[in-house]
């Protein structure tokens, strides 16, 4: 019995020795000053992430300095694991170890008949407004070893290394046996890189807390990021030979087959090609745009039909499978897909001697193109670039409906993109700049007529949009049938002003541009000393006006798009009321122009108000922040101006 | 011949169940569709529930089985949500969906079907902020749902709640219901300790008459026709238990010794007391010796309010009703309402003061005096400390079972001795060892909500205001004290921006925060502010555009539909606002003093001007008022007039006539 007990005790001691213990906490953690938390009330003193082949280790040491910091301590959910240890230590030394039975919960995040995805949450106990929290755990890696679909999988995960709290020191280790590729983006602050035996380590210092800032985007923050990516085996092998070999492999074996292989032209392709290319303009770019226009007029992209168009077709028509490479069938039916239009344009451009380059753009709001990150999952939308001497290149999105195909979506403007350069025998690649378009084609013109009464106003409003504004507004209502669009518009407008009753609201016509919506409304008026009229009711401000802007800014400023918003108002005054006039607003700076003018209309009872807001800078450095704030203040001032009518003394 | 007849019979018999498979909906759904075929769908609705039928059976040992059938006609695109079966459960140990079938009969006659294999369960906490619980959302979506579809679902769910076989059902939904049926029954399996002859089954309904066109009821059945959709967009709706229709179901099984006795309130109160008692462990987190009981309780309460935070963490289903031990709550430094109440009672027990948990209902109307016995009427727990003699606190109540001090420890800004205003008009149930003691919360027990604003500064000739805004807040009236506590100066700034007259002020910074030192002290914060457009020309007059002024009520939409709920306006915050502003030019207030009195509010205004200085003062109080459904037209008219009068009052108060000086600034 005694031997048995001794053996058990020895075994327990050995097991305890094998378990990783929490590191000792240095006394200087209690010297941390509240100012170091930058107003967050807590700071991550040390954070460690270690990526192994089949597991990820995490460790945190957090110092909490006030109530706000206490409320901010939270840990992400993680894959279930049995190796979690943690404790909270209050000043004075009272220690609260984490208990598995009461401080962790493992629960299915999603469960289906085929299985479940479980996640563990930690609810740290014993937090006070002056304490230290320490925790470490090891979770199973979501990116295990190569699976049976290895040859087809393309995906990535982006880990932003900033947290909700500022981080004093972050150590990231990546072990060489990791099955996925990775890219470490250290940001402008950089990191100390250490290459060890079988691993690579990056040490970051002073990572600011993640905060959302108006008119900013993730990629512009330059926060340190760690990207894990998975792709087919042959691309992994190519990436190990360097950036050039990788992208050439991508060009020639991932994308090129779409253009080169298995296209069935059919018997009439030749005649069709000759006929559709007849009489094209001499310049390449104009010819490309004209060719696209003819294609869209000739072929229906069934992947971009509106609900009313789908409803007008039979179920059989809508369910028919289309092979975009079977040009013979496409010519016969007149129907193809978005990819099919892309391929048709490509082929016809080739036949016309107009070299087109496939270009893969990257959404500037989330990331920047990094060719040295051998990861095709970073690439986004896919267009064709046509170059021409003496002119900037144009980028054609063949499948875009209801908007000019050479309009570049604002999220891609001002970026670098990856262009493939077709050549025989081998395709190449290059990095190209996607320009910022001047916004002259993006307009919204709102016309409002308000017949003012002493107890109610009658309002008639129309809105016309072109370019990107058209495309954005149309997208809002795309998935609805006409009656639903009108109902949705009515609800949106009534939410904007509780005093308004919308009598009619009409969206469209939908199938042609410029995009239009209109409404008739009645607005009740309370008795008052003066009649105050908002010249532009029921419409949003030309720019988003947050309640407040931070005093300082580190991030690049990004506007949603460039263009012109114009508001034309006619106010018909009731008898016995006069308006004493108002001085104009005419302001401009690098961000654009704001012009507000008001004056008499065609008849003595009319007042005309005109507001134009034009934005001319899409992206700007933080040094322009004071100018930007000034520009927003002008927009707010002009859009919120009302017309005050007073009773005439006569 | 006989062989042929036999074959034909077999064919027909075999084909009959096939009918359901190939010809659309099951028979029960078909009947519901045919029943409504001669009626017009309700106007302006997104979907019409043709049938919602639930059979709740008691299966013994505390287990309920719910068989639910439902038929819906989709009227608009927004109504397509009805194509998703959704159920909220407490986790597999408590609730499980045993069977599910769904049908989508499309306008073209084709049918889509799903079954239990299509069910997906999602962690309900993903939509619940920082709550951690065992709750799960189970959903299954029918494919290809569009306008004109008929959707049918049939499900079977078993439930075994810690509270036993009891439920509270609210029939109204966001879409109207043509026919609603709730039936209860007993279906004991062969092997069970429960005995049907000993069971008691209670079905109690309330407020059905006001909502259904036809009501058929018996002791085990509630059948309703033509229920409207739950009204939305009714301002100041008194939508509590005295108005909404509900049905309480309970099965009283003597074999269930661990579940509460719900035959009367005493039985339930005793059960609660018994469950809480072992959890109320004696704790002393702060020194309490050598001081009076009153001071010791104040110290304990102050410590709890600064050291413990409110958080809902339920790692097992019964934690929704059973608290944590006092010592465990202290270890965690957080707890929900039950945990904090139990911890407070643990501290009181260290002072040799007995206490009891108190069940309450917050935010959803008071519990009526004739409410059926049902645990789900409550959604909150506070504490009652038994006192042999008064300690002089307003939140003490004298009852037939003794004197109690009521304490809500979830409110970190309410000092001991008062209750937060959320308990206004409430009926609470003190759960003692002897049974239930109901008390009404007196208004005198409530922390008084008051706010004072003091603005000092100047307005330039260009209409730019620079100055300081000092805010004194009592009883967390604006939520500023709790925001400052949880989010610091940064959070306080964001929340205080709602007092700014316009977006993007040039400057709006919190320069000081002072929490209350004594219970009667207000919370104070001072902001440094600057913004343009503080002075606006209107005709020959100027109008001031100043921060933190009372806002007039929002306009009321005119609708054709009659209201379903009475209009009830609660009392508002005591509001006191002053401004002392240098305007640099002579200015005469149009209205040196004014008074506003409507059924909903009272306000006074004073303004004076001397030597380029304006001194302004505004006092305002919203009054409680109620209009029953039959008086709704008068109530709506009064609300509209109140808005007009308020607008006029403020317009006159803020208007002044300038003396010499250029006219600048426009709106």
Q: What is the complex's ipTM, to 2 decimals? A: 0.89
- Nearest CA among A561, A569, A539 for reference residue A614: A561
Which residues of chain B have a CB within 8 Å of the CB of A487? 76
- The pLDDT assigned to A76 comes to 83
Angle at B503 between CA B501 and CA B506, to 5 degrees: 90
Query: Would you call B539 and A641 a contact, using CB atoms and an 8 Å cutoff?
Result: no
Least confident of A123-137, A145-159, A511-525: A145-159
Q: Between residues 37 and 56 of chain A, which touch chain B (CB distance below 8 Å)?
A: 39, 41
pLDDT band at A650 (very low <50, low <70, confident <90, very high): low
Tell me the shortest Cα–Cα distance from A328 to chain B, in angstroms.
31
Query: Would you call A39 and B494 a contact, using CB atoms and an 8 Å cutoff?
Result: no
Closest residue in A to B134 (Cα–Cα): A107
Which residues of chain B have a CB within 8 Å of the CB of A641? 666-667
Residues B86, B100: contact at Cβ < 8 Å? no
Which residues of chain A have a CB within 8 Å of the CB of B494? 547-548
Among A121, A545, A580, whose Cβ lies nearest the Cβ of B539?
A: A580
B434 Cβ contact partners less than 8 Å away, ≥ 6 residues apart? B266, B270, B401
- Nearest CA among B86, B245, B113 for reference residue B177: B245
- Nearest CA among B611, B597, B585, B606 for reference residue B654: B606
Q: Between residues 467 and 496 of chain A, which touch chain B (CB distance below 8 Å)?
A: 480-481, 484, 487, 494
Which residues of chain A have a CB within 8 Å of the CB of B540? 580, 646
Among B132, B500, B533, whose Cβ lies nearest the Cβ of A123?
A: B132
- The pLDDT assigned to B91 comes to 84
Residues A626, A590: contact at Cβ < 8 Å? no
* Mean pLDDT on B49-69: 96
Tokens of A328: 């013979």
B27 Cβ contact partners less than 8 Å away, ≥ 6 residues apart? B20
Closest residue in B to A633 (Cα–Cα): B504
Which residues of chain A have a CB within 8 Å of the CB of B667? 532, 640-642, 644
A421 interface with B at CB cutoff 8 Å: no
Between these two residues, A219 and B628, which has the higher pLDDT value? B628
Q: At what angle do helices B265-276 and B337-350 cross, to 10 degrees?
A: 70
User: How does pLDDT run across A538-552, given as a tens digit for each residue?
Assistant: 999 999 999 888 888
Torsion on CA atoms A195, A201, A205, A207, rounded to nearest 10 = 140
- The pLDDT assigned to A342 comes to 96
Query: Would you call B497 and A547 a contact, using CB atoms and an 8 Å cutoff?
Result: yes
Closest residue in B to A579 (Cα–Cα): B539
- The pLDDT assigned to A8 comes to 40
* Mean pLDDT on B222-246: 94
Query: Would you call B486 and A67 a contact, using CB atoms and an 8 Å cutoff?
Result: yes
User: How does pLDDT run across A434-487, given as a tens digit for each residue?
Assistant: 999 999 999 999 999 999 998 899 999 999 999 999 999 999 998 888 888 999
Cis peptide bond N-terminal to B6, omega within 30 = no
Q: In angstroms, rounded to a whole number, what is the distance separating the alpha carbons of residues A517 and A509?
A: 8
- The pLDDT assigned to B319 comes to 87
Does residue B78 have a pLDDT over 90? no
Closest residue in A to B501 (Cα–Cα): A547
**Around Cβ B102, how many Cβ atoms within 10 Å?**
24
**Around Cβ B116, how many Cβ atoms within 10 Å?**
16
The alpha carbon of residue B514 and the mean position of all alpha carbons in its chain are separated, in whole angstroms, by 31
Q: In angstroms, rounded to a whole number, what is the distance separating the alpha carbons of residues B456 and B454?
A: 7
- Nearest CA among B461, B662, B502, B533 for reference residue A585: B533
Does residue A371 have a pLDDT over 50? yes
Closest residue in B to A582 (Cα–Cα): B666
- The pLDDT assigned to B3 comes to 54
pLDDT band at B4 (very low <50, low <70, confident <90, very high): low
Tell me the shortest Cα–Cα distance from B624 to chain A, in angstroms.
23
- Nearest CA among A579, A545, A544, A542 for reference residue A450: A579
Residues A609, A541: contact at Cβ < 8 Å? no
Residues A570, A638: contact at Cβ < 8 Å? no
A80 interface with B at CB cutoff 8 Å: no
A110 interface with B at CB cutoff 8 Å: yes
Tell me the shortest Cα–Cα distance from A519 to chain B, in angstroms.
18
Mutate to test the interface with B, among A644, A645, A647, A650 (most CBs of B within 10 A): A644
User: How does pLDDT run across A210-244, given as a tens digit for each residue?
Assistant: 888 999 987 777 789 999 998 888 888 898 899 99
- The pLDDT assigned to B10 comes to 44
For B475-544, where are the E strands, in sequence order?
507-514, 523-531, 535-538, 541-544
Which residues of chain B have a CB within 8 Å of the CB of A527? 644, 648
Which residues of chain B have a CB within 8 Å of the CB of A484? 76-78
Q: Between residues 493 and 522 of chain A, which touch chain B (CB distance below 8 Å)?
A: 494, 498-499, 501
Tell me the shortest Cα–Cα distance from B644 to chain A, in angstroms.
5
- The pLDDT assigned to B34 comes to 93
A66 interface with B at CB cutoff 8 Å: yes
Q: At what angle do helices A284-298 and A269-276 cross, to 10 degrees?
A: 120
Residues A395, A385: contact at Cβ < 8 Å? yes
Query: Would you call A498 and B555 a contact, using CB atoms and an 8 Å cutoff?
Result: yes
pLDDT band at B549 (very low <50, low <70, confident <90, very high): very high
* Mean pLDDT on B92-111: 93
Does residue B466 have a pLDDT over 70? yes
* Mean pLDDT on A479-508: 92
Among A67, A526, A642, whose Cβ lies nearest the Cβ of B644?
A: A526
Does residue A7 have a pLDDT over 60? no
- The pLDDT assigned to A262 comes to 84
Torsion on CA atoms B372, B376, B377, B379, rounded to nearest 10 = 160
DSSP annotation of B258 reads S
DSSP annotation of A304 reads G
Does residue B24 have a pLDDT over 80? yes
- Nearest CA among A438, A431, A378 for reference residue A406: A438
A545 interface with B at CB cutoff 8 Å: yes
Query: Would you call A71 and B309 a contact, using CB atoms and an 8 Å cutoff?
Result: yes
- The pLDDT assigned to B6 comes to 44
Mutate to test the interface with B, among A526, A536, A632 (most CBs of B within 10 A): A526
Inter-chain CB pairs, A–B, below 8 Å:
159
Tell me the shortest Cα–Cα distance from A170 to chain B, in angstroms.
25
Residues B220, B144: contact at Cβ < 8 Å? no
- The pLDDT assigned to B191 comes to 74
Query: Would you call A128 and B130 a contact, using CB atoms and an 8 Å cutoff?
Result: no
Least confident of A533-537, A577-581, A593-597, B152-156: A577-581
Query: Would you call A68 and B491 a contact, using CB atoms and an 8 Å cutoff?
Result: yes
Q: In angstroms, rounded to a whole number, what is the distance separating the alpha carbons of residues B158 and B89?
A: 10
Which residues of chain A have a CB within 8 Å of the CB of B136? 108, 111
User: How does pLDDT run across A251-274, given as a tens digit for each residue?
Assistant: 999 999 999 888 999 999 999 999
Query: Would you call A102 and B539 a contact, using CB atoms and an 8 Å cutoff?
Result: no
Does residue A11 have a pLDDT over 50? no
Among A74, A111, A532, whose Cβ lies nearest the Cβ of B121?
A: A111
Does residue B538 have a pLDDT over 90? no
In angstroms, what CA-CA distances link B16 with A306, A366, A498, B20, B583? Answer: 41, 58, 56, 8, 89
Look over chain B and give the mean of its residue pLDDT values, rounded to a whole number: 91
A547 Cβ contact partners less than 8 Å away, ≥ 6 residues apart? B494, B497, B498, B500, B503, B504
Between these two residues, B93 and A641, which has the higher pLDDT value? A641
Which residues of chain B have a CB within 8 Å of the CB of A629? 504
User: How does pLDDT run across B499-536, given as a tens digit for each residue?
Assistant: 999 888 989 999 999 999 887 899 999 999 999 999 98
Q: Between residues 580 and 609 of chain A, which touch chain B (CB distance below 8 Å)?
A: 580, 582-583
Q: In angstroms, rounded to a whole number, what is the distance separating the alpha carbons of residues B275 and B262?
A: 15
In angstroms, what CA-CA distances link A299 with A332, A336, A341, A348, B381? Answer: 10, 7, 8, 14, 67
Tell me the shortest Cα–Cα distance from A470 to chain B, in angstroms.
23
Tokens of B143: 């494919």
Closest residue in B to A497 (Cα–Cα): B555
Q: What does A179-220 look like in DSSP terms, one character per residue?
A: SSEEEEE--TT--EEEEETTEEEEEEEEEPPP---TT--HHH
- The pLDDT assigned to B20 comes to 39
Closest residue in B to A95 (Cα–Cα): B331
Residues B98, B158: contact at Cβ < 8 Å? yes
pLDDT band at A527 (very low <50, low <70, confident <90, very high): confident
- Identify any residues that bridge with A394 across adjacent strands, giving them in sequence order: A386
Q: In angstroms, rounded to a whole number, what is the distance separating the alpha carbons of residues B128 and A96?
A: 27
Does residue A4 have a pLDDT over 60? no
- The pLDDT assigned to A248 comes to 96
- The pLDDT assigned to A82 comes to 67
- The pLDDT assigned to A152 comes to 61
Residues B328, B281: contact at Cβ < 8 Å? no
Spatial strand order of the sheet with B64-74 comes to B111-115, B95-105, B150-159, B64-74, B47-58, B177-186, B221-227, B214-218
Mutate to test the interface with B, among A123, A214, A573, A650 (most CBs of B within 10 A): A123
Say what percent of chain B tops pLDDT 70: 95
Does residue B17 have a pLDDT over 70? no
B392 Cβ contact partners less than 8 Å away, ≥ 6 residues apart? B294
Tell me the shortest Cα–Cα distance from B552 to chain A, in angstroms.
12
Closest residue in A to B139 (Cα–Cα): A112
Predicted model pTM? 0.90
Does residue B614 have a pLDDT over 50? yes
Say what percent of chain B tops pLDDT 90: 80
Does residue A312 have a pLDDT over 50? yes
**Around Cβ A621, how many Cβ atoms within 10 Å?**
11
Among A68, A128, A636, whose Cβ lies nearest the Cβ of B503?
A: A636
Residues B180, B138: contact at Cβ < 8 Å? no
- The pLDDT assigned to B7 comes to 46
Residues B105, B150: contact at Cβ < 8 Å? yes
Least confident of A117-121, A324-328, A420-424, B14-18: B14-18
């Amino acid at each position: 019995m005694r031997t048995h007990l001794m053996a058990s005790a020895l075994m327990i001691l050995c097991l305890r020795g094998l378990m990783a213990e929490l590191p000792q906490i240095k006394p200087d953690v209690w010297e941390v000053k509240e100012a170091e938390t930058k107003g967050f009330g807590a700071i991550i003193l040390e954070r460690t992430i270690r990526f192994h082949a089949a597991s990820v280790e995490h460790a945190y040491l957090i110092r909490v300095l006030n109530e706000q910091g206490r409320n901010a301590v939270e840990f992400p959910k993680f894959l279930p694991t049995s190796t979690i240890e943690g404790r909270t230590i209050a000043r004075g030394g009272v220690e609260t170890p984490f208990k598995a039975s009461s401080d962790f919960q493992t629960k299915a995040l999603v469960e289906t008949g085929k299985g479940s995805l479980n996640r563990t949450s930690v609810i740290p106990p014993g937090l006070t407004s002056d304490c230290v929290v320490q925790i470490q755990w090891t979770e199973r890696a979501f990116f295990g070893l190569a699976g049976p679909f290895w040859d087809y999988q393309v995906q990535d995960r982006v880990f932003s290394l900033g947290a909700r709290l500022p981080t004093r020191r972050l150590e990231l280790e990546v072990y060489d046996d990791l099955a996925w590729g990775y890219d470490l983006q250290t940001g402008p602050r950089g990191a100390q890189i250490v290459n060890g035996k079988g691993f690579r380590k990056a040490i970051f210092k002073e990572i600011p807390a993640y905060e959302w800032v108006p008119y900013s985007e993730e990629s512009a923050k330059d926060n340190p990021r760690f990207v894990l990516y998975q792709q087919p085996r042959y691309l992994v092998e190519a990436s190990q030979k360097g950036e050039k070999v990788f992208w050439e492999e991508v060009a020639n074996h991932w994308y090129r087959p779409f253009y080169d292989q298995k296209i069935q032209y059919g018997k009439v392709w030749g005649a069709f090609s000759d006929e559709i290319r007849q009489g094209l303009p001499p310049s390449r770019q104009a010819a490309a745009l004209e060719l696209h226009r003819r294609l869209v007029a000739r072929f229906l992209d069934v992947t971009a039909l509106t609900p009313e168009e789908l409803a007008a077709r039979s179920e059989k028509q809508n369910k028919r499978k289309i092979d975009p490479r079977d040009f013979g069938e496409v010519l016969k039916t007149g129907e193809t897909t978005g990819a099919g239009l892309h391929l048709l344009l490509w082929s016809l451009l080739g036949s016309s001697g107009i070299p087109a380059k496939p270009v893969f753009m990257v959404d500037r709001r989330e990331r920047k193109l990094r060719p040295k990150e051998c990861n095709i999952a970073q690439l986004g939308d896919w267009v064709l670039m046509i170059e021409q001497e003496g002119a900037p290149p144009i980028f054609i999105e063949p499948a875009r409906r209801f908007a000019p195909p050479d309009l570049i979506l604002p999220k891609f403007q001002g970026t670098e993109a990856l262009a493939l350069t077709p050549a025989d025998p081998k395709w190449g690649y290059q990095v190209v700049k996607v320009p910022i378009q001047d916004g002259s084609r993006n307009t919204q013109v709102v016309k409002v007529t308000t017949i003012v009464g002493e107890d109610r106003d009658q309002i008639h409003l129309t809105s016309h949009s072109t370019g990107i504004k058209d495309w954005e507004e149309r997208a809002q209502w795309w998935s609805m049938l006409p009656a639903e669009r009108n109902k949705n518009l009515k609800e949106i407008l009534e939410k904007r002003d509780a005093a308004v009753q919308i009598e009619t609201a009409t969206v469209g016509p939908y199938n042609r541009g410029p995009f239009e919506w209109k409404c008739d409304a009645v607005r009740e008026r309370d008795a008052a000393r003066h009649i105050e009229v908002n010249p532009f009711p029921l419409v949003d401000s030309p720019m988003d006006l947050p309640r407040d802007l931070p005093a300082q800014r580190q991030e690049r400023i990004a506007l949603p798009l460039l263009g012109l918003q114009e508001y034309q108002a006619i106010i018909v005054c009731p008898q016995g009321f006069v308006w004493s006039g108002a001085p104009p607003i005419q302001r401009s700076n690098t961000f654009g122009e704001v012009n507000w003018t008001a004056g008499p209309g065609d008849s003595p009872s009319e007042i005309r108000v005109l507001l134009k807001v034009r934005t001319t800078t899409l992206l700007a450095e933080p040094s322009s922040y004071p100018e930007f704030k000034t520009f927003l203040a002008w927009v707010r001032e002009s859009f919120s101006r009302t017309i005050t009518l007073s009773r005439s003394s006569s | 011949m006989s062989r042929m007849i036999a074959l034909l019979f077999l064919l027909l018999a075999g084909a009959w169940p096939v009918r359901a498979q190939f010809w659309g909906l099951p028979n029960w759904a078909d009947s519901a569709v045919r029943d409504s075929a001669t009626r017009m769908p309700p106007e302006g609705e997104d979907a019409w529930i043709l049938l919602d039928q639930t059979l709740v059976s008691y299966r013994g040992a505390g287990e309920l089985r719910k068989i639910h059938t439902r038929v819906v006609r989709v009227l608009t695109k927004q109504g397509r949500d009805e194509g998703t079966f959704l159920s909220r459960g407490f986790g597999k140990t408590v609730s499980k969906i045993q069977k599910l079938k769904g049908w989508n009969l499309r306008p073209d006659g084709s049918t889509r079907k799903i079954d239990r294999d299509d069910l997906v369960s999602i962690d309900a906490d993903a939509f619940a902020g920082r709550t951690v619980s065992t709750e799960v959302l189970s959903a299954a979506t029918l494919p290809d749902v569009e306008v004109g579809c008929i959707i049918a679902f049939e499900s079977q769910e078993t439930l075994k709640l810690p509270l036993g076989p009891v439920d509270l059902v609210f029939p109204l939904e966001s879409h109207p219901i043509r026919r609603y049926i709730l039936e209860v029954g007993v279906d004991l399996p062969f092997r069970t300790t429960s005995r049907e002859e000993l069971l008691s089954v209670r079905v109690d309904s309330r407020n059905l008459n006001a909502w259904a066109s036809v009501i058929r009821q018996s002791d085990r059945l509630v059948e309703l026709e033509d229920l409207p959709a739950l009204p939305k967009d009714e301002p100041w709706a008194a939508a509590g238990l005295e108005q909404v229709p509900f049905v309480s179901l309970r099965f009283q099984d003597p074999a269930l010794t661990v579940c509460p006795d719900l035959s009367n309130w005493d039985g339930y109160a005793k059960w609660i007391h018994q469950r809480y008692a072992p959890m109320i462990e004696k704790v002393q987190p702060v020194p309490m010796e050598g001081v009076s009981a009153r001071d010791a309780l104040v110290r304990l309460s102050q410590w709890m309010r600064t050291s413990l935070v409110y958080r809902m963490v339920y790692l097992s289903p019964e934690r929704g009703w059973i608290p944590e031990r006092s010592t465990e709550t202290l270890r965690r430094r957080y707890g929900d309402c039950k945990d904090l109440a139990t911890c407070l009672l643990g501290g009181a027990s260290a002072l040799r003061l007995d206490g009891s948990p108190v069940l309450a209902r917050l935010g959803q109307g008071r519990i009526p005096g004739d409410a059926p016995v049902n645990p789900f009427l409550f959604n909150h727990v506070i504490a009652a400390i038994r006192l042999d003699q008064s300690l002089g606190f307003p939140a003490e109540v004298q009852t037939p079972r003794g004197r109690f001090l009521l304490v809500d420890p979830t409110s970190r800004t309410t000092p001991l001795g008062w209750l937060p205003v959320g308990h206004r008009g409430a009926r609470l149930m003190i759960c003692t060892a002897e049974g239930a003691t109901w008390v009404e919360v007196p208004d005198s027990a409530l922390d008084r909500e008051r706010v004072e604003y003091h603005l000092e500064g100047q307005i330039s000739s260009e209409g730019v205001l620079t100055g300081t805004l000092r805010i004194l807040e009592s009883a967390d009236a604006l939520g500023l004290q709790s925001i400052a506590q949880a989010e610091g100066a940064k959070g306080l700034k964001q929340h205080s921006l709602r007092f700014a007259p316009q977006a993007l002020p040039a400057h709006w910074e919190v320069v000081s925060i002072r929490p209350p030192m004594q219970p009667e002290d207000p919370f104070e914060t001072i902001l440094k502010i600057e913004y343009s457009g503080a002075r606006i020309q209107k005709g020959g007059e100027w109008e001031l555009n100043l921060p933190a002024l009372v806002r007039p009520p929002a306009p009321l939409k005119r609708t054709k539909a009659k209201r379903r709920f009475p209009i009830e306006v609660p009392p508002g915050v005591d509001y006191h606002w002053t401004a002392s502003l240098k305007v640099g030019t002579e200015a005469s207030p149009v209205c040196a003093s004014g008074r506003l009195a409507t059924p909903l509010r009272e306000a006074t205004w004073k303004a004076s001007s001397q030597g380029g200085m304006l001194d302004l003062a505004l006092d305002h109080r919203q009054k409680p008022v109620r209009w029953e459904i039959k008086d709704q037209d008068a109530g709506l008219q009064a609300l509209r007039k109140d808005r007009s009068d308020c607008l006029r009052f403020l317009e006159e108060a803020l208007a002044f006539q300038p003396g010499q000086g250029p006219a600048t600034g426009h709106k």
